[in-house]
Structure 1
Amino acid sequence: MSYPTPMVIANLATALSDKSWDALVIVAEKFLDVLPEPLNEVIKNQAEFDLRINKELMSFISEDVNQRRVVLAPVGQTSRYFDDVRSYYDAAKKAASVVLNMGAKKPLLVVLGNDKAAYQHAELVSYLGFAQALWQPLEAREALGDLIEPISLVGIVGQHLDGANAAALESGRYVARDLCGTEPERMAPPQFAEYCIETFERTDVEVTITDDMPTIQAEYPLLWAVARASVEVKRHQPRVIRLEYTPPGAVDKTLMLVGKGIVYDTGGADLKTGGHMAGMSRDKGGAAAVAGFMKTVAELAPLGIKVVAEIAAVRNSIGAEAFVSDEIITGHSGVRVRIGNTDAEGRLVMADLLSKLREEALDEINPLLFTVATLTGHAARSVGPYTALVENGVSRAKGFGELLVQQGDLLADPCETSRSRREDYTFVQPRTKADDLLSSNNGPSAVTARGHQFPMAFLSIVSGLDKHDVNDDQPLPYIHIDIAGSGVEGGDWQHGKPSAAPINALFGAFINA
């Protein structure tokens, strides 16, 4: 099965007259005197003996409505300065669960938006929230069959919804949820690579898998260090996955992304204890989002935009071959890295890939580089359920981070920017002449000052991007994206559904711009 395909219907009366839809879901601020007859009268009659209308989610059956099942999903207030379009996403998501419990299989979604600019994508966001609730984990589908996702089509009444964009976005989000939310054996590095190969078959995205261990050891030495303890187990061996989309015709801009794909993080020699290892199969959320974004790109095949993504799929295992703190490892860029903590492995597996893309970027047209990762507990502590963005000087000068913030707000995928400061670069400076760079301190990021900002400084230096900042001869914009707080619903990394952040924001800022 796949995501529920959106079918856009422009005319509300036409949609309501169609008896083939078996449930009617209305997402709105209010429901009285805003809908055509006889639906308006049905809701009025219901309101006479049910005070929940306009206040909380409710459902009822009516023979006077062609779809018979009716679900009213109120969005609450939208006039306060801190209100945003996530209220539509949340309302539609709750409604989807009710629709499933009612046994409906072909729902019709009616979104009554408003004229505020902040809610211009309310129809799209409602569909995405609805689809989020319907997704079931890959292992569940494989064990129980596709019937656990019984809804394959959703009708949406909308004047402002682009069906192709909606389908492409949800297709990418579905891929991201699959890759992030799947347990560590089913989505071990070789399986992650195989999923990508299958996903991009018959698309314009070229998939290249590096699976030769001597090659990985030689070309990605920092990644190899993290993978060392896993290599003796063949099914856990690392993979470097490259996804590349080149549009027909001229290229106007190039997006280059690196995704952290730690399929399981034991912490390595700095072992996670006290129950903190549970949920670490989701430490591949950054790579999952990158692959999902590429799926959206593949579906839309945009003109003028080249997109290159590289994914480090690695298991951070514990064993006799595990790398340890105090080791000094020379990365792809030639920078000598002293390991401060083996549980700060995500920045290491991305470092060599970012260094290679930095070299490629010098020959690309208007490149913009990203790292996307579930990197630090500090990001979740600092910005809560939001995606944290840390930019270099070039990106900040061009306003790319602020663009992601603006588009994320419009598409229910909120982000917050954090400044990169001189203290971040000082934090990772070497303490001796034996090395050039310190990977991390040996304490938890959540209790480390600037714990989600200084990793961006590390990544800039270890990849050589620090030589391409705003005052250098060949400036390259770079944004580090930390989804540790936004990557799963409710911040529950063990049981929460993957959110697919920051696919919506990336789409709005750079594909649908």
Structure 2
Amino acid sequence: MSFPIAKPATTVWHADADALIVIAANVTSLGHELDTLVKPYLTVDARMTSKVSLLVNEKAPGQRLFLAPTGPLNRDYDDVRRVYDAAKLAILEAKAAGAVRPVLCVTGVDIDARYQHALEVAYLGACQALWQPLEARESLGEHIEPVQCVFLVNADDALCTRLNALAAGHYVARDLCGTEPERMAPPRFAEYCVGAFSNTGVTVEVINDRDILDRHYPMLSTVARASYAVERHHPCVIKLTYEPQGDVERTLMFVGKGLVYDTGGADLKVGGFMAGMSRDKGGAASVAGFMKAVAQAQPAGVKVVAFLAVVRNSIGSDCFVPDEIINTREGVRVRIGNTDAEGRLAMGDLLSELKDQALKEVNPILFTVATLTGHAARAMGPYSAYVENGPARQANVSRELAQVGDLWADCAEVSRSRREDFDFVKPRTLADDVLSSNNAPSAVTARGHQFPMAFLNIVGGLDKHGSDSETPLPYVHMDIAGSGVEGGDWQHGKPFPATISSLFAKYC
């Protein structure tokens, strides 16, 4: 793992740096002597106010000064992502120029509270831009990620320690999500996780015995049925647990969707829509990434439990088909509506098990994280969609996470679970208890990203733990289909570690 380590710096002229990156809201007013250095260039190049510029200056570290304007920050719709984007552009220019130890300064962005974490966000943006795919690093060598560290002006050791934990989590999430389906087939996904959490406070359990999977996770095993014909594609459940030292005050519990490849199954994806489906493991990747950040930060008072459903939805003579009825761990009979709605099946029994465990934990909150529906991407664009149950809504779980996310360039929209969602999945006959989905694409289905939460609520047994229950359990379904990759390009876009920064900033 070779992401650039964050280190503190007290001045822009840091002696160990080899370049200076200045991210500014107004490049004509940078403060202190930088204005004197930049003024002659501004008089001859108006482009400096709108693009990253390299200025050669003897005083700057490595004689390289990169000036990166953010654009306007004071409008109602501006947010800290303008800083994030400026940092991404600037670090790539610095890398291309040969810098490996830049010092990063953010100035002139203290307009209001929206930008209180601008420096941290700039660093995370730089890390996002510098990441290269795991397959590329293994093929070409780690030197393709040459930047060693980033010195942060006005950061202290404590802040850099937290940022490095968060950056490590982002790195793991990008690796797991962005790697092709053979290199990150279920057994190798598990192998990566075992390595990522070795010598940490996180315990790892990998369940890959078919008899156990059939018995305890029948929906996941149904999704995986055609994949059993190929040994290297066999599914697994990965359980990660972090126990803090001292008393537990809050328990965070996750199920992550880890579809290492989604062909659509019998409802085969055609017309080019299968490309990019190796990233359908983005939910499990983000959960594992959050756990990596937790493992490195070791927060007090917070216990974290994560179950990852790692499986391949293959097509073959033994694949499951629509109209089948599956008996689940919760005792609910599920009629299959469409085999391309496999993520909710893979997660459902794990959510049921997690629910049972949650009843014994201290102040639990349950989450499912998944690249689940095209509807989330269509309805919310590049934002995560949070759909919550009654107890979570009463506790403002999603709204508070979304507010934190706005400060950390990890933005989300809050959705509500409605009666129509439960009506949508209600049984049509006495032969079954719930319908997994309709047979139309979610993107053209009304409430296409909300009704799957109702399904998960039922098959996970959380419908018995709503606000009217003696044991209410807050539950939030996080659909990251729109936010899990940059630019919505699921085949070629760089994975984005959605939800990790929000969860880390809120709970750790």
TM-score relative to the length of structure 2 = 0.98
Which residue is 1:21 aligned to? 17
Query: 2:260 matched to 1:263?
Result: yes
Which residue is 1:5 aligned to? 5
Letter paired with 2:346: V
Counting only pairs closer than 5 Å after superposition, residues 41-52 of structure 1 correspond to structure 2 as 41-52=36-47
Which residue is 1:187 aligned to? 184
Which residue is 2:133 aligned to? 137
CA shift at 1:342, angstroms? 0.2
1:228–1:322 CA contact under 8 A, matched in 2? yes
CA shift at 1:371, angstroms? 0.2
2:214–2:221 CA contact under 8 A, matched in 1? yes
Which residue is 2:364 aligned to? 367
Distance in 1 between residues matched to 2:61 and 2:91, nearest whole Å: 19
CA shift at 1:159, angstroms? 4.7
1:424–1:454 CA contact under 8 A, matched in 2? yes
Same amino acid, percent of matched pairs: 58
Deviations 1:40-73 (A, max 9, x none): 3220111121112222221122224343111111
Deviations 1:172-210 (A, max 9, x none): 000000000000000000000000000000000000000
2:19–2:60 CA contact under 8 A, matched in 1? no
Which residue is 1:352 aligned to? 349
Which residue is 2:112 aligned to? 116
Query: 2:300 matched to 1:335?
Result: no
Counting only pairs closer than 5 Å after superposition, residues 474-493 of structure 1 correspond to structure 2 as 474-493=471-490
Distance in 1 between residues matched to 2:14 and 2:239, nearest whole Å: 48
Counting only pairs closer than 5 Å after superposition, residues 416-427 of structure 1 correspond to structure 2 as 416-427=413-424
**In the alignment, which of 28, 31, 53 is matched to residue 32 of structure 1?**
28
**In the alignment, which of 386, 409, 417 is matched to residue 412 of structure 1?**
409
**3-state SS in 2 of match to 1:52:** helix
2:258–2:308 CA contact under 8 A, matched in 1? yes
Distance of aligned partners of 1:464 and 1:184 in 2 relative to their CA distance in 1, 3 Å threshold: same
Which residue is 1:84 aligned to? 79
CA shift at 1:115, angstroms? 4.4
1:111–1:158 CA contact under 8 A, matched in 2? no
Distance of aligned partners of 1:262 and 1:117 in 2 relative to their CA distance in 1, 3 Å threshold: same
Letter paired with 1:426: D
Letter paired with 1:5: I
Deviations 1:304-352 (A, max 9, x none): 1100000000000000110000000011101000000000000000000
Distance in 1 between residues matched to 2:179 and 2:172, nearest whole Å: 11
1:331–1:352 CA contact under 8 A, matched in 2? yes
Deviations 1:90-115 (A, max 9, x none): 00001111112111111111111314
Query: 2:223 matched to 1:221?
Result: no
**In the alignment, which of 439, 444, 448 is matched to residue 442 of structure 1?**
439
Distance in 1 between residues matched to 2:350 and 2:366, nearest whole Å: 11
Distance in 1 between residues matched to 2:137 and 2:349, nearest whole Å: 35
CA shift at 1:23, angstroms? 1.2
**3-state SS in 1 of match to 2:278:** helix
Deviations 1:418-469 (A, max 9, x none): 1110000000000000000000000000000000000000000011100000
Distance in 2 between residues matched to 1:317 and 1:68, nearest whole Å: 55
Distance in 1 between residues matched to 2:25 and 2:355, nearest whole Å: 48
**3-state SS in 1 of match to 2:47:** coil
1:267–1:316 CA contact under 8 A, matched in 2? yes
**In the alignment, which of 172, 194, 199 is matched to residue 197 of structure 1?**
194
**3-state SS in 1 of match to 2:21:** strand
1:489–1:497 CA contact under 8 A, matched in 2? yes
1:42–1:64 CA contact under 8 A, matched in 2? no
2:337–2:437 CA contact under 8 A, matched in 1? yes
Distance in 1 between residues matched to 2:141 and 2:31, nearest whole Å: 38
Which residue is 1:71 aligned to? 66
**3-state SS in 2 of match to 1:370:** strand
Distance in 1 between residues matched to 2:151 and 2:30, nearest whole Å: 20
Which is further off, 39-48 or 428-437?
39-48
Query: 2:16 matched to 1:58?
Result: no
Distance in 2 between residues matched to 1:78 and 1:98, nearest whole Å: 23
Distance in 2 between residues matched to 1:172 and 1:229, nearest whole Å: 32
**3-state SS in 2 of match to 1:441:** coil
Q: Which runs of 5+ in 2 are unaligned?
A: none
Letter paired with 1:265: D
**3-state SS in 2 of match to 1:272:** coil
**3-state SS in 2 of match to 1:73:** strand
Letter paired with 1:378: H
Deviations 1:238-289 (A, max 9, x none): 0100000011111101000000000000000000000000000000000000
Distance in 1 between residues matched to 2:205 and 2:44, nearest whole Å: 62
CA shift at 1:165, angstroms? 1.4
CA shift at 1:30, angstroms? 1.5
1:388–1:418 CA contact under 8 A, matched in 2? yes
Count of residue pairs the alignment pairs up: 506
Which is further off, 108-117 or 156-165?
156-165
Which residue is 1:101 aligned to? 96
CA shift at 1:366, angstroms? 0.3
2:265–2:320 CA contact under 8 A, matched in 1? yes
Distance in 2 between residues matched to 1:455 and 1:473, nearest whole Å: 25
Letter paired with 2:118: A
Query: 2:166 matched to 1:169?
Result: yes
Which is further off, 305-314 or 68-77?
68-77
Distance in 2 between residues matched to 1:71 and 1:415, nearest whole Å: 31
1:340–1:440 CA contact under 8 A, matched in 2? yes
